[in-house]
A and B are shown apart, each in its own frame.
Chain A
Amino acid sequence: DAKTTQPTSMDCAEGRAANLPCNHSTISGNEYVYWYRQIHSQGPQYIIHGLKNNETNEMASLIITEDRKSSTLILPHATLRDTAVYYCIVKKSEGGKLIFGQGTELSVKP
């Protein structure tokens, strides 16, 4: 599975959009980009995933560049409850293992 690179930490003002970048330059054609988040002392929560098209659900939007070497997770109106560690993971959709990197620690501030 391809490796990902994320900033260690980011701050965001409450009510503003949080844009979390992820680099995955070695992604292969059948690998998806997954995003999870982990709030302190809880299990990870699934957010969204995509292959090459942009995706949106009730939690977030996922923007994948045309060459698929990077992506951005967008939380459109961040709240204090969005403070968490966000993990970008690349893996094949069917089967495969989720291997967690260090993620981005997002702090949403009032």
Chain B
Amino acid sequence: GAVVSQHPSRVICKSGTSVKIECRSLDFQATTMFWYRQFPKKSLMLMATSNEGSKATYEQGVEKDKFLINHASLTLSTLTVTSAHPEDSSFYICSANVPDTQYFGPGTRLTVL
């Protein structure tokens, strides 16, 4: 299957700082990528759909000014958590769309102190 990578795999930051997470499709191009977050013992929650060359589409209840998404190329989407607070600590996972399915990255564990 197609390979999706994320960087970093883990990040610890201080409250009030911003953190950028990268999602790359390694062996294919993806016009659409998705960002999810997952709290402990919970299911994945879709945050937003990232479209190459256009603005991201955010799910209801997700603050677009707090979770900035940029999809500058067909192989890279970034999620920036701005002014992070402890409640933003979570597992962030991206996925990339191929014609008939989606492949997921390994996830990024964010801890905000």
> Which A positions have Cβ atoms within 8 angstroms of B?
32, 34, 36, 38, 41-46, 49, 87, 93-95, 97-103
Contacts and interface: CB of A to CB of B under 8 A. Distances in A.
A97 B97 CA distance: 9
- Sorted nearest first, the 10 A-B pairs with minimum C-beta distance are A43-B104, A100-B44, A100-B43, A44-B104, A43-B107, A43-B106, A93-B100, A43-B93, A43-B105, A102-B43
Interface of B: 1, 4, 6, 32, 34, 36, 43-46, 49, 91, 93, 95, 97, 99-107, 109
Contacts of B103: 46
B3 to A, nearest CB: 11
A30 to B, nearest CB: 13
A97 B34 contact: yes
A46 B107 contact: no
B100 A98 contact: no
Nearest to A48: B101
Contacts of B100: 32, 49, 93-94
Contacts of B6: 43
* Most chain B CB neighbours (cut-off 10 Å) among A32, A34, A100: A100
A46 B46 contact: no
Contact of A45 (B43, B46, B104): B104
Contact of A98 (B4, B95, B99, B105): B95
B43 A101 contact: yes
Contact of B49 (A49, A97, A102): A97
* Most chain A CB neighbours (cut-off 10 Å) among B32, B49, B102: B102
Nearest to A85: B43
Given A49-B100, A49-B101, A97 B107 contact: no
Contacts of A45: 104
Contacts of A93: 99-100
